[in-house]
């Protein structure tokens, strides 16, 4: 099988179907075409991911496009989130259609932009050329901007404007960083100065001063898109005002795509600066700041989707912290990426359906959601429990590995800040979650009936989080080790083993 | 070519100061258009000794996009939003020009620290590019009008472009054109967003987009 062709197809098929979606005759056909596109691409994508995990990287177009262990792992997460979110979009907009709030024009726009964003995020992951990777990420910003305001309102327009301006400026910073990386290779790499594989092979010879300047620009730029504090101000607005399926892909994968771009520069910067841990210290700082800032804001939230958005800031901070700690921390960070994406998309799914039922995202008005809908009430409560790191969910395991990494590297200050931040989040989120699930409803509620598809959308992520919290398949463990080995120059020194759990 | 390059850079800096001091949107757009054309020409001047088809293609695309297409899009947005002037800016115009002087000083210092090693006669390009970058950032932060913020993004991108022209010659044309295309789409998307904001709010004052907090 020619896996290079699969890479091409994974880019072109969503791109073409996205264009076709804009002219389809009905809401259901447009949404159906979108779902077929995502699930069809997923089948082909899984084949190439499996090949990469078994036999190594696939290259094509003069090495401009590739899929190695790190990008294949992220692509796997992306496919999982897009499949779940597409199925959920079918349910979510089906309800809006029934209520007369979703028109054919909106369906065409939504499904078209959804497929295009799928293609753009795939381009980010497939790019070996760092310039093309930048183009892909900027494209995701521009494409997804209008997904926020599918339902035009004053709030959604405001959120969209903040998103475009802040993220575009952030991405411009990343562009400056990309140019500085290319400039640091001047005279060393004669051609293909932006190919990641070539830069990585020559990283020790790059100009350290320029690489430091470049990494600062890249971290601030891509960090803005990843929602790291203090550049996160667009995130709560965009996440809370976008329709729930969009919030799910924003939080479930788009933020990770931006962090993935930063991951690509870690080994290059570390090698160029003599392996002093300079880049890792910066990442640790941003990670800790994100955890602390999110913890403070989580305490005072009233809006459910804003609460979940601040959880995204916290968890992206945890991933950045893991990357900054290195060693087992990198392994934990990558594992946390999968766990957070699954959990956060589920929480936005549940928030969206409950929001449709209550007509509001105000947590006081949404009290007693278990009674209103046992399925989605369990979804929101279970996902919040998982988000705050309760055992035996997988997020508990990845956070425990992160604690072990901090102890191993004697980063006591980081460990204390992480534990304090997580403790505050734990208390703050529980204080919101208990009344949300078990509180006395504000009015008479007619229990919401659910379909088998809805049950699957809730059960699959929760089951995966539970299983991964107790047992990690050998193939996933190997994939994670391979991916973390790419982020750092060596494989993690040791992997923590708890009884009955072998990562 | 040194005098030509230096003159181009001086004109770029003067255009930055003009952008900081002007309140009429049409004048700002005219200055940004001038800056775009200047950058297109600068691409050719900077590589005069080894002019290739790739350089010419990038220079021409940049000249047309930044000099004509972007200004046209912005003028259309002005017409649709029926706005002529910047609203009460967060920082006054005189103070903005003073800040511009400060940014020039900071750019000269930072330019001397960055070992970009430009070719002979190009020493002033990096500080000028950085000044332009800072000017764009300043316009986004210190102005309230959504159109001026969009203009700020174009200026910021101009600054990065100027530095890219002299510090990186190995980037393939396809990537550079992709980047220019992205900038074009960004301006287009911002223009559409401004149109929708104006329709929804009857103004494009970003200071009043303050519903979402906390």
pLDDT in tens, A190-223: 667 789 999 998 898 999 999 999 999 999 999 9
Longest dimension (CA), chain A: 73
Mark whether A339 and A362 lie in a shared domain: yes
Contact B212 A158 (CB under 8 A): yes
C-alpha pair distances (Å), A424 with each of A177, A229, A314, A392, A428: 35, 17, 11, 20, 6
| Residue B24 backbone dihedrals phi, psi, to 5 degrees | -75, 125
- Domain around A87: 1-128
Same domain, yes or no: A247 and A156? yes
Residues 300-329 of A with CB under 8 A from B: 300-301, 306
What is the tens place of the pLDDT at every residue in B62-120?
A: 999 999 999 999 998 888 887 777 667 888 899 999 999 999 999 999 988 888 877 77
**For A155-169, A330-344, B178-192, which range has the lowest pLDDT when averaged over its residues?**
B178-192
Among A159, A136, A123, which residue's Cα sits nearest to residue A222? A136
Collapsing DSSP states into helix, strand and coil, what is residue B88?
Answer: coil
What is the separation, in whole angstroms, between the first and last Cα of chain A?
Answer: 31
ipTM of this predicted structure: 0.92
The predicted model gives A362-377 an average pLDDT of 91
Q: What is the mean pLDDT of chain A?
A: 92
Question: Residues B143, B90: contact at Cβ < 8 Å?
Answer: yes
How would residue B210 be classed by pLDDT, with cut points 50, 70 and 90? confident
- pLDDT tens-digit series, residues B104-161: 999 999 988 888 877 777 888 999 999 999 999 999 999 888 889 999 999 999 999 9
Give the start-to-end residue ranges of the domains of chain B: 2-202
Inspect the interface and report whether the beta carbons of A183 and B201 lie closer than 8 Å: no
* Chain A contact set for B182 (CB, 8 A): 135, 138-139, 142
CB contact under 8 A, B214 and A145: no
If you average pLDDT over residues A88-96, what whole number do you get? Answer: 95
Is residue A318 located within the same domain as residue A458?
Answer: yes
Q: How confident is the model at residue A459 (pLDDT cuts 50, 70, 90)?
A: very high
Q: Is A170 on the interface with B (CB under 8 A)?
A: no
**% of chain A residues with pLDDT over 70:** 96
Which of the residue ranges A101-105, A139-143, A166-170, B187-191 would you say has the lowest mean pLDDT? B187-191
Does residue A259 sit in the same domain as residue A289? no
Question: Which residues touch A13 (CB under 8 Å, ≥6 apart)?
Answer: A37, A40, A41
Model confidence at A183: pLDDT above 80: yes
- Taking 80 as the threshold, does the pLDDT of residue B172 lie above it? no
Check pLDDT > 60 for residue A500: no
Task: Determine the pLDDT at residue A190.
Answer: 65
From chain B, the residues in CB contact with A186 under 8 A are: 117, 167-170
Residues A98 and A122 grouped into a single domain: yes
For residues B58 and A316, which has the higher predicted lDDT (pLDDT)? A316
Chosen domain end from A103, A128, A153: A128
Q: Which residue of B has its CA nearest to A153?
A: B200
* Domain count along chain A: 3
Q: What is the pLDDT of residue A497?
A: 40
Of the three residues A105, A128, A151, the one that is the final residue of a domain is A128
Provide the shortest C-alpha distance from residue A207 to chain B (in Å). Answer: 8
User: Higher-confidence residue: B87 or A480?
Assistant: A480
Residues A224 and A321 in one domain: no
Residues A326-346 have pLDDT tens digits of 999 999 999 999 999 999 999
**A276, A309, A344 — which closes off a domain?**
A276
Q: Identify the pLDDT of residue A502.
A: 45
- If asked whether residues A340 and A215 sit together in one domain, one would say no
- Categorize the per-residue pLDDT at B169 as very low, low, confident or very high, splitting at 50, 70 and 90: low
The pLDDT score that the predictor gives to residue B49 is 82
**pLDDT for residue B170:** 66
A490 lies within 8 A of chain B by CB: no
Averaged pLDDT for residues A420-440: 93
Per-residue CA distances from A102 to A107, A190, A290, A464 (Å)? 7, 54, 36, 32
Q: Is the pLDDT of residue A489 over 70?
A: no
Cβ A207–B178 below 8 Å, yes or no? no
* Contact at CB, A142 and B170, closer than 8 angstroms: no
Residues in B lying within 8 Å of A, measured between beta carbons: 113-117, 133, 137, 140, 146, 149, 153, 156-157, 160, 163-164, 167-172, 175-176, 178-179, 181-182, 185-186, 189-190, 192-193, 196-197, 200-201, 206, 209-212, 214
Same domain, A371 and A497: yes
Question: What's the average model confidence in pLDDT over B177-191?
Answer: 81
Question: What are the pLDDT digits (tens) for A238-290?
Answer: 999 999 999 999 999 999 999 999 999 999 999 999 888 999 999 999 999 99
pLDDT class of B51 with cuts at 50, 70, 90: confident
Q: How confident is the model at residue A498 (pLDDT cuts 50, 70, 90)?
A: very low
């Amino acid at each position: 099988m020619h896996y290079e062709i699969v890479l091409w197809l994974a880019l072109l098929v969503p791109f073409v179907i996205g264009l076709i979606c804009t002219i389809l005759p009905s809401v259901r056909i447009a949404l159906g075409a979108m779902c077929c596109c995502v699930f069809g691409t997923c089948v082909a994508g899984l084949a190439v991911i499996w090949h990469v995990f078994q036999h190594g990287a696939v290259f094509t177009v003069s090495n401009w496009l590739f899929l190695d262990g790190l990008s294949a792992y992220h692509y796997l997460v992306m496919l999982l989130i897009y499949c779940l979110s597409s199925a959920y979009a079918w349910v979510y907009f089906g309800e809006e259609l029934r209520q007369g709030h979703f028109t054919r024009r909106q369906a065409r726009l939504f499904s078209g932009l959804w497929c295009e964003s799928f293609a753009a995020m795939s381009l980010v992951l497939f790019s070996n050329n760092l310039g093309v990777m930048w183009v892909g990420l900027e494209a995701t910003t521009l494409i997804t901007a209008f997904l926020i305001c599918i339902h035009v309102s004053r709030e959604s327009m405001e959120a969209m404007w903040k998103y475009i301006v802040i993220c575009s400026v952030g991405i411009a910073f990343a562009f400056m960083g990309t140019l500085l990386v290319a400039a640091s290779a001047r005279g060393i790499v004669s051609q293909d100065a932006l190919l990641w594989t070539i830069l990585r092979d020559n990283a020790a010879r790059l100009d350290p001063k320029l690489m430091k300047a470049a990494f600062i620009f890249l971290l601030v730029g891509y960090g803005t898109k990843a929602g790291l504090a203090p550049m996160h101000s667009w995130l709560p607005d965009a996440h809370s005002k976008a329709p729930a399926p969009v919030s799910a892909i924003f939080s479930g994968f788009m933020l990770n795509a931006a962090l993935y771009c930063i991951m690509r520069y870690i080994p290059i910067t570390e090698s160029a600066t003599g392996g002093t841990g300079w880049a890792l210290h910066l990442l640790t700082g941003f990670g800790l700041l994100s955890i602390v800032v999110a913890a403070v804001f989580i305490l005072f939230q009233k809006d459910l989707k804003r609460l979940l958005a601040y959880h995204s800031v916290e968890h992206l901070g945890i991933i950045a912290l893991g990357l900054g700690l290195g060693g087992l921390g990198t392994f934990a960070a990558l594992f946390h990426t999968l766990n957070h994406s699954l959990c956060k998309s589920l929480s936005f799914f549940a928030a969206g359906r409950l929001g449709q039922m209550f007509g509001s995202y105000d947590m006081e008005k949404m009290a007693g959601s278990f009674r209103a809908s046992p399925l989605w009430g369990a979804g929101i409560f279970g996902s919040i429990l998982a988000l705050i790191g309760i055992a035996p969910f997988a997020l508990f395991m990845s956070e425990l590995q992160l604690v072990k990494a901090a102890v191993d590297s004697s980063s006591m200050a980081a460990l204390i800040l992480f534990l304090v931040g997580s403790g505050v989040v734990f208390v703050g989120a529980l204080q919101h979650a208990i009344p949300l699930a078990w509180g006395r409803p504000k009015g008479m509620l007619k229990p919401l009936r659910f379909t088998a598809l809805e049950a699957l959308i809730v059960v699959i992520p929760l089951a995966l989080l539970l299983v991964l919290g107790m047992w990690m398949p050998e193939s996933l463990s190997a994939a994670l080790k391979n991916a973390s080995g790419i982020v750092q120059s060596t494989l993690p020194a040791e992997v923590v083993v708890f009884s009955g759990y072998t990562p | 070519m040194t005098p030509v390059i230096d003159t181009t850079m001086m004109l770029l800096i003067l255009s930055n100061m003009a952008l900081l001091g002007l309140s009429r949107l049409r004048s700002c757009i005219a200055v940004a258009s001038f800056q775009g054309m200047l950058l297109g020409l600068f691409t050719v001047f900077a590589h005069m000794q080894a002019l290739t088809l790739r350089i010419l293609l990038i220079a021409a695309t940049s000249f047309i996009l930044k000099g004509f297409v972007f200004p046209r899009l912005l003028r259309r947005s002005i017409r649709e939003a029926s706005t002529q002037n910047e609203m009460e800016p967060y920082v006054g115009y005189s103070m903005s020009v003073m800040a511009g002087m400060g940014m020039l000083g900071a750019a000269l210092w930072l330019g001397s620290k960055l070992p970009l090693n430009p070719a002979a006669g190009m020493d002033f390009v990096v500080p000028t590019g950085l000044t332009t970058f800072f000017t764009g950032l300043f316009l986004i932060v210190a102005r309230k009008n959504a159109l001026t913020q969009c203009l700020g993004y174009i200026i910021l991108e101009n600054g990065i472009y100027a530095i890219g022209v002299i510090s990186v010659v190995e980037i393939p044309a396809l990537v550079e054109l992709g980047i220019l295309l992205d900038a074009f789409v960004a301006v287009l998307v911002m223009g559409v967003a401004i149109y929708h904001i104006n329709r929804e709010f009857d103004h494009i004052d970003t200071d009043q987009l303050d519903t979402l907090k906390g």
